[in-house]
Amino acid sequence: MSVEETFSKLCLSSSDNADAVAIKTLVFKPKTAKTAVPVPIIVVALQSTQTPSNVIAHVTKTKDPRLARDELFQSFFQCEKATEFDLNYLEAASSEFSVLLDNQLIETDSEKKLSLNEGKFIIQQSQLVEYLQKYSPTHVDFSQEIVSPAPAAKGAKKDVKKDAKKDGALEDAKLIGITVDKAKDFPGWYQQILTKGEMLDYYDVSGCYILRPASYAIWETIQKWFDTRIKRLGVANTYFPMFVSNKVLEKEKDHIEGFAPEVAWVTKAGSSELDEPIAIRPTSETVMYPYFAKWIQSYRDLPLKLNQWNNVVRWEFKHPQPFLRTREFLWQEGHTAHLTSEEAQEEVMQILDFYAGVYEELLAVPVIKGKKTEHEKFAGGVFTTTCEGYIPQTGRGIQGATSHFLGQNFSKMFNFSVENPLGSEHPKLFAFQNSWGLSTRSIGVMVMIHSDNKGLVIPPRVSQFQAVIIPVGVTSKTSEEERTRINKTAKEIESRLLNSDIRATGDYRDNYNPGWKFANWELKGVPLRLEFGPKDLQQNQVTVVRRNDSKKIIVKLDDHLELNVQEILDVLQQDLYNAAKAKYDSHRVIVDEWNKFVPALNAKNVILSPWCGVEECEEDIKASSSRKDDGEEFEEDDKAPSMGAKSLCMPFEQPPLKLNQKCIKCEKKAVTYCMFGRSY
Amino acid sequence: MSVEETFSKLCLSSSDNADAVAIKTLVFKPKTAKTAVPVPIIVVALQSTQTPSNVIAHVTKTKDPRLARDELFQSFFQCEKATEFDLNYLEAASSEFSVLLDNQLIETDSEKKLSLNEGKFIIQQSQLVEYLQKYSPTHVDFSQEIVSPAPAAKGAKKDVKKDAKKDGALEDAKLIGITVDKAKDFPGWYQQILTKGEMLDYYDVSGCYILRPASYAIWETIQKWFDTRIKRLGVANTYFPMFVSNKVLEKEKDHIEGFAPEVAWVTKAGSSELDEPIAIRPTSETVMYPYFAKWIQSYRDLPLKLNQWNNVVRWEFKHPQPFLRTREFLWQEGHTAHLTSEEAQEEVMQILDFYAGVYEELLAVPVIKGKKTEHEKFAGGVFTTTCEGYIPQTGRGIQGATSHFLGQNFSKMFNFSVENPLGSEHPKLFAFQNSWGLSTRSIGVMVMIHSDNKGLVIPPRVSQFQAVIIPVGVTSKTSEEERTRINKTAKEIESRLLNSDIRATGDYRDNYNPGWKFANWELKGVPLRLEFGPKDLQQNQVTVVRRNDSKKIIVKLDDHLELNVQEILDVLQQDLYNAAKAKYDSHRVIVDEWNKFVPALNAKNVILSPWCGVEECEEDIKASSSRKDDGEEFEEDDKAPSMGAKSLCMPFEQPPLKLNQKCIKCEKKAVTYCMFGRSY
């Protein structure tokens, strides 16, 4: 094809691509009137640069730019498919388009080699930048978000190094609070509420994020709740090193196979190369179990129940997402060894109940408990139990936490066996093991489910602050005396609540008006706003406003104040759960016929279907439900649009199987209902 | 010198030593009768292999082998000084000696290059092993400790991979419990009580250790105590990523200079080389402060007070020591920014008081609070406050925890300034900052101070278990009914104590006799043993035995049981503190004349001396107090024997300076008393 040569001839031999920097070329189509011809937007950026749609919209002054579908490539660039597109096709464009060029790419060393289209083209940075000049590209700082001058945007992402740019950003800014619609651009919305709500900040190492106090406080609440419960089971906390020697890491081949591609390696200390590279734990099975073998010398040493709260590293190369897919994350990992299979399995289920409790009781997130299929279970274990959540906006399932029964696989591998308590004439016994983990991913699920276009909505039981007291109705006509009394009483309310263990705070700043404060605290998701003004003062009351639905409740400042506020918090917590549960319930549908399966999936459901239990059939279901190109839907995560339905779990609570019920996909007899869905 | 050539000629060109493995050659002299000729022991081992003296003693069947002094080198090997010794000198030996060869060295790849005498000799592994054959070396598995068959030794270090060796180890074993005298071989004792007491285990990555439940429980108690207090100050917990880009790490040159040689670098993920190496945080100043700059937009955003409980990595190349010097460790790091210097400094002192509280109130470890000299302060800060402990066995000071006032140095570097609250016509203000940290080192200090030759002694306030109930006096003649009543009542005592928040446990195992159990729980350091036997049953009492001094106290099983046991615990806690304080007080001496300084130091004191405050004089004091060779004293830590006195701190509580008092070392006027000492 002749067009290919124009750009291609600049390129270097592709054998030189060892240390080339990966570049992505994305094509967006903005929303236009049906009759108008859209102007496609070509984004050329470092693979590692995030290119949020709201930044693209802002820079190009367009509306809702979304990843273009094949039709656009065909009609504009004479290119058959999105996946075949490369820069050569720009030459063939049939009409106007615009090019955005990532500042970070521009700032890359001009002699650096770049790799485009997964290594198809290797080109020097200077040549690529020069080549693109003919399309008059707009240089874009994708890391510089559209921020507001008001402190409400303090949490917004901004390039901290370039102070000169601050003023420019401020000039541009027109928007306070969340500027992306949850229903229209879910990934963009998610990023904004996290950063503007001050839960999290982006960090200069890709895939790593800063957990700010608002989110860390949630994690601390989860820790305390779960830690108390596992300690009652006799689990003790411990801390194993985060470094693993290669030798130990590779000890269980099947197990490590799944983790190997994501292991981060330390090869250097100071200026010295290490003799052997050392891995950072992706999980601690092989770190811990050699010591289990050492410590378990008798059946009296069983059960051994250890847990650690720690960080692990999985260097994923997929698109990172705050909380959901991060290269370093916090979790707990429990590892226990038991004399009998029954005792071990009982614990697996007990822990799964705790996990469901974290989601349902603390985070107000409904989950379905069940068992993973053989294909989806933890590598090296016997079976995996899971609690599965549901994200209504994307219609995707999300794995909440898993509790694995490992059987004797690892204990045989690491040789921890004990004398049979029945006597030495009986065979030695290998311990039965479990491992179970819950991570900060849970916080992301909670945010996605409850929050809205005004910002975060945090369930009261985990919220850093449960109630914010804001003096209102103070005008220039208010007497100094009345102003003082309002502030004083507001502070009294605050301290009364604090003394009753309600996490209250007050916003008495005089440089912001109440309206601004309302928006600011709504952004942060504080469950209750307590407005206190002249009328409240007069009537000895306070006006309580619920974050989730703005419902107002008048509460008297009598002896029952604390109890009443606590009750409002409890009801709000329950309401959040109920609302989320109603959505999950209405989008979990039973489908018995294959021809209804994909439509149900596309209607953002997770699906309970009768299934034969055969792995090949599971794979067939996934492949057959992939949507090759269903058009407009925009997902930051590239893999989403074509994603088929995975098996999420075989729920413990099963609909009754009809007699001779066949599998949804094949002709075999169904043995269980399985829950399928697109997933994170 | 001709002898040099024999070994030397085998060696390779020393320019090839880039990836050579470091080898150490140590010479030990065992204790013998004064008239006997000792047989020196030559240990050839990987630098990274720990070669505990008790293993050497066991293998060579000698007593108390210690690092040899210069005299031995002169008389046996015609070598002037220990520091000049190399393998060539073996040729010149005037009498018998034995050679121990590290198994790990033998197992090293035979083509691997080895580096001896700090790179003076480079030799291939196979050649070194072959060369040493003429001395008939004994192959030693230094990682295999002398363990006992009884479960008391469960925590002992053993090669978990080589099961075949287990039986051999068991045959060798003659020793139960701690086999090293605290007074004679302090490092060997320290290692044994930690591992046998099940506080910690050695790990297969050098410099990393496993914190087992007994030590992690102490850390949790410290966390809870300190966390509650800083939260009352308005400090919020947060979590920043552990990865740092090179660019950010190097931002503050002075600061990073101190850390650079110890930074661990990730260069690879899965099978891909990273474009840029990424560092693991050695501390988080440069990780956090770019975001401080972003978040602090107005003086109303101040103070900003963040803390994190996390792991950090400092890849030290010095001899690692459990808790005291480890490559990964757990700590908290607080980072705060304030509008005024006064407010910041007030917090520095408040935090220092909390640190002293952790040591004195929880760990029963007395500390001296003071300020570090300019030379010893935190790089990049204005001043550093510290609490300094004292280890009686070695006479060395130990830094407990530090709280730094950073001034405006970092805030200027990272540019976080705010409008002056007085108005925009006044100059912008840069924030005043603090950082402060306390690590798991504190646990090591506690162990060194209170524990004894029977094992650990853990202060009640931090001990995982505070009391263990053990049924006693049950013999073959005891009736079944009495046996049942004893066990039942013992369990009732346990649950009564548990219900009163006393961390009790019971040891009702029937396969061990009470004597074995006593020793086992003494090894673990549980503060109180509650013996309950037929006589106690009869008299409605329980016999309480204090771990620290074996003092027995009879406590009636009446309504006051819980209160009485709590009081015994409180008194024990205080007694431990008082005993440690008495030792510290009697070994903290005021010395005004230089000629008494080194003798006082050698008498294991820390020294308060009048000092001029000049850095050069401080260095002179250190250099002048180094002991080049004071002979027999054995220290695992190579740097110790020649260590001079460092300035530990200028105590806040000062003895009165005499009029015209001169500096202890120079002729200048003294401006303060400074505490000097050898230190960790």
A362 and A477, same domain (yes or no): no
Are A607 and A673 contacting, i.e. CB atoms less than 8 angstroms apart?
no
Contacts of residue A219 in chain B, CB cutoff 8 Å? 239
**Could you tell me how many helices (H) and strands (E) chain A has, helices first?**
20, 30
Residue B5: is its pLDDT beyond 80? no
pLDDT band at A389 (very low <50, low <70, confident <90, very high): very high
Q: Cα-flanking dihedrals φ and ψ of residue B113, to 5°? A: -85, 140
The predicted structure's pLDDT at residue A13: 67
**Interacting residues of B462 by C-beta distance below 8 A, sequence separation 6+:** B217, B218, B221, B222, B362, B363, B446
Residue A174: is its pLDDT beyond 70? no
CA-wise closest residue to B316 among B260, B248, B268, B266? B260
The CATH number given to whatever domain includes residue A673 is 3.30.110.30
Q: Which of B21, B213, B328 sits opposite A242 (nearest CB)?
A: B328
A541 and A599, same domain (yes or no): no
The predicted structure's pLDDT at residue A634: 39
B561 and B658, same domain (yes or no): no
A432 and A368, same domain (yes or no): yes
A532 and A609, same domain (yes or no): no
Counting one residue from A and one from B, how many pairs have CB atoms under 8 Å apart? 182
pLDDT band at B163 (very low <50, low <70, confident <90, very high): very low
Q: Which of A204, A298, A301 sits opposite B248 (nearest CB)?
A: A204
Q: Which of A211, A247, A270 sits opposite B262 (nearest CB)?
A: A270
Give CA–CA dist A10/A7, Å, rounded: 6
Please check whether residue A164 lies inside any domain of the structure.
Answer: no
Give CA–CA dist B306/B303, Å, rounded: 10
Written as six digits, the tokens of A493 are 């309310």
Give CA–CA dist A412/A433, Å, rounded: 11
Q: Check A204 against B290: CB less than 8 A apart.
A: yes
Contacts of residue A301 in chain B, CB cutoff 8 Å? 151, 154
B229 and B320, same domain (yes or no): yes
- B368-381 average pLDDT score: 94
Are B138 and B101 contacting, i.e. CB atoms less than 8 angstroms apart?
yes
pLDDT band at A172 (very low <50, low <70, confident <90, very high): very low
Per-residue pLDDT reduced to its tens digit, A99-139: 999 988 888 887 788 888 877 888 888 888 888 888 888 88
The predicted structure's pLDDT at residue A145: 52
Residue A33: is its pLDDT beyond 80? no
Written as six digits, the tokens of B603 are 């008498």
B609 and B643, same domain (yes or no): yes
The predicted structure's pLDDT at residue A74: 85
Please check whether residue A336 lies inside any domain of the structure.
Answer: yes
- The share of chain B scoring above pLDDT 70, in percent, equals 91
What is the Rg, in whole angstroms, of the alpha carbon atoms belonging to chain B? Answer: 28
Whether the CA torsion B216, B220, B222, B227 is positive or negative: it is: positive
Residues A287-326 as b/e (b if ≥16 CB within 10 A, e otherwise) read bbbbbbbbbbbebebbbbbbbbbbbbbbbbeebbbbbbbb
Q: Check A211 against B238: CB less than 8 A apart.
A: yes
In chain A the first and final C-alpha atoms are separated, in Å, by 39
Q: Check B151 against A205: CB less than 8 A apart.
A: no
Identity of residue B349: M
The CATH number given to whatever domain includes residue B98 is 3.90.960.10
Laid out side by side, the sheet with B504-506 consists of B504-506, B467-471, B528-532, B541-546, B552-556
Per-residue pLDDT reduced to its tens digit, A427-438: 899 999 999 999
Q: Chain A neighbours among B 21-80 (CB < 8 Å)?
A: 21
Are A321 and A639 contacting, i.e. CB atoms less than 8 angstroms apart?
no
The CATH number given to whatever domain includes residue A497 is 3.40.50.800
Please check whether residue B299 lies inside any domain of the structure.
Answer: yes
Identity of residue B621: I
Q: Check B275 against A201: CB less than 8 A apart.
A: no
CA-wise closest residue to B49 among B100, B117, B109, B122? B100
Residue A161: is its pLDDT beyond 50? no
Give CA–CA dist B407/B380, Å, rounded: 9
Q: Check A297 against B269: CB less than 8 A apart.
A: no
Per-residue pLDDT reduced to its tens digit, B644-664: 999 999 999 999 999 899 999
- A28-46 average pLDDT score: 85
- B66-94 average pLDDT score: 85
To the nearest whole Å, the CA of B328 is away from the closest chain A CA by 7
Identity of residue A514: P
**Interacting residues of B316 by C-beta distance below 8 A, sequence separation 6+:** B207, B262, B325, B327
Q: Which of A245, A290, A315 sits opposite B205 (nearest CB)?
A: A245
- B314-320 average pLDDT score: 87
Are B55 and B145 contacting, i.e. CB atoms less than 8 angstroms apart?
yes
Residue A162: is its pLDDT beyond 60? no
pTM (two decimals): 0.77
pLDDT band at B380 (very low <50, low <70, confident <90, very high): confident
Identity of residue B422: L
Residue A484: is its pLDDT beyond 90? yes
Contacts of residue B327 in chain A, CB cutoff 8 Å? 243
B217 touches chain A (CB under 8 A): yes
The predicted structure's pLDDT at residue A15: 58
Tokens 């650079």 sit on residue: B260
* Helical spans, DSSP H, in B296-372: 341-357
- The share of chain A scoring above pLDDT 70, in percent, equals 91
Domain count, chain B: 4
Q: What is the DSSP letter of B679?
A: B
Higher pLDDT, B132 or B234: B234
Last residue of a domain, one of A450, A475, A490: A450
The predicted structure's pLDDT at residue A630: 44
Are B577 and B625 contacting, i.e. CB atoms less than 8 angstroms apart?
no
B314 and B399, same domain (yes or no): yes
Higher pLDDT, B465 or B55: B465
CA-wise closest residue to B573 among B359, B352, B355, B324? B359
Helix (H), strand (E), coil (C) string for A545-594: EECCCCCEEEEECCCCHHHHHHHHHHHHHHHHHHHHHHHHHHCEEECCCH
Tokens 């910690």 sit on residue: B200
Residue B93: is its pLDDT beyond 60? yes
Cα B209 versus chain centre, distance: 11
Please check whether residue A147 lies inside any domain of the structure.
Answer: no
The predicted structure's pLDDT at residue A642: 63
Q: Exposed, middle or buried by CB within 10 Å (0-12, 13-18, 19+), for B656?
A: exposed
Last residue of a domain, one of A97, A116, A140: A140
pLDDT band at B482 (very low <50, low <70, confident <90, very high): very high
- A380-408 average pLDDT score: 96
To the nearest whole Å, the CA of B247 is away from the closest chain A CA by 10
Per-residue pLDDT reduced to its tens digit, B281-314: 999 998 999 999 999 988 989 999 999 999 999 9
CA-wise closest residue to B474 among B520, B518, B521, B508? B508
- The share of chain B scoring above pLDDT 90, in percent, equals 62
Give CA–CA dist B45/A424, Å, rounded: 41
- Complex ipTM value: 0.77
B70 and B104, same domain (yes or no): yes
**Interacting residues of B228 by C-beta distance below 8 A, sequence separation 6+:** none
- A161 → chain B, closest CA residue: B290
- B389-399 average pLDDT score: 96
Give Cα separations from A669 to A593, A614, A622, A657, B197 (angstroms).
14, 10, 19, 10, 58
Q: Check B151 against A298: CB less than 8 A apart.
A: yes
The predicted structure's pLDDT at residue B50: 83
Residue B575: is its pLDDT beyond 90? yes
The predicted structure's pLDDT at residue B501: 96
Half-sphere CA count of A236, side-chain side, radius 13 A: 19
Q: Chain A neighbours among B 403-422 (CB < 8 Å)?
A: 415
Per-residue pLDDT reduced to its tens digit, A575-592: 999 999 999 999 999 999
Give CA–CA dist B311/B283, Å, rounded: 9
Residue B497: is its pLDDT beyond 60? yes
- Of B16-30, B151-165, B396-410, B586-600, the range with the lowest mean pLDDT is B151-165
Checking DSSP bridges between strand B588-590 and strand B606-611, what pairing results, if any? parallel
> Considering chain A, what is the average pLDDT of its residues?
88
The CATH number given to whatever domain includes residue A220 is 3.30.930.10
- A196 → chain B, closest CA residue: B295
Last residue of a domain, one of A140, A169, A192: A140
The predicted structure's pLDDT at residue B364: 98
Q: Check A266 against B266: CB less than 8 A apart.
A: yes
Q: Chain B neighbours among A 534-593 (CB < 8 Å)?
A: none
The predicted structure's pLDDT at residue B557: 97
- A163 → chain B, closest CA residue: B415
Are B365 and B445 contacting, i.e. CB atoms less than 8 angstroms apart?
yes
Q: Which of A237, A238, A278 sits opposite B205 (nearest CB)?
A: A278
B306 and B384, same domain (yes or no): yes
Per-residue pLDDT reduced to its tens digit, A626-661: 865 444 443 434 444 468 999 999 999 999 999 899
> Considering chain B, what is the average pLDDT of its residues?
88
Residue B592: is its pLDDT beyond 90? yes
What is the Rg, in whole angstroms, of the alpha carbon atoms belonging to chain A? Answer: 28
The predicted structure's pLDDT at residue B16: 59
B366 and B331, same domain (yes or no): yes
Per-residue pLDDT reduced to its tens digit, A180-238: 899 989 999 999 999 999 999 999 998 999 999 999 999 999 999 999 999 999 999 99
Residue A2: is its pLDDT beyond 50? no
pLDDT band at B127 (very low <50, low <70, confident <90, very high): confident
Angle between helix B213-232 and B341-357 (nearest 10):
150
- B475-484 average pLDDT score: 90
Angle between helix A441-450 and A213-232 (nearest 10):
120
Please check whether residue A461 lies inside any domain of the structure.
Answer: no
Residue B540 φ/ψ region, left for φ over 0, alpha for ψ in the -120 to 50 degree band, beta for the rest? left
Please check whether residue B156 lies inside any domain of the structure.
Answer: no
The predicted structure's pLDDT at residue B642: 63
pLDDT band at B637 (very low <50, low <70, confident <90, very high): very low
Please check whether residue B225 lies inside any domain of the structure.
Answer: yes
The predicted structure's pLDDT at residue B248: 86
Please check whether residue B271 lies inside any domain of the structure.
Answer: no
B238 and B354, same domain (yes or no): yes
The predicted structure's pLDDT at residue A169: 33
| Beta strand segments in A408-562, E | 417-418, 429-430, 432-439, 467-471, 504-506, 528-532, 541-546, 552-556
Domain with A625, as residue range(s), is: 591-677
The predicted structure's pLDDT at residue A5: 60
Give Cα separations from A126 to A99, A107, A110, A111 (angstroms).
17, 10, 5, 7
Q: Check B238 against A216: CB less than 8 A apart.
A: yes
The predicted structure's pLDDT at residue B122: 86
Higher pLDDT, B155 or B35: B35
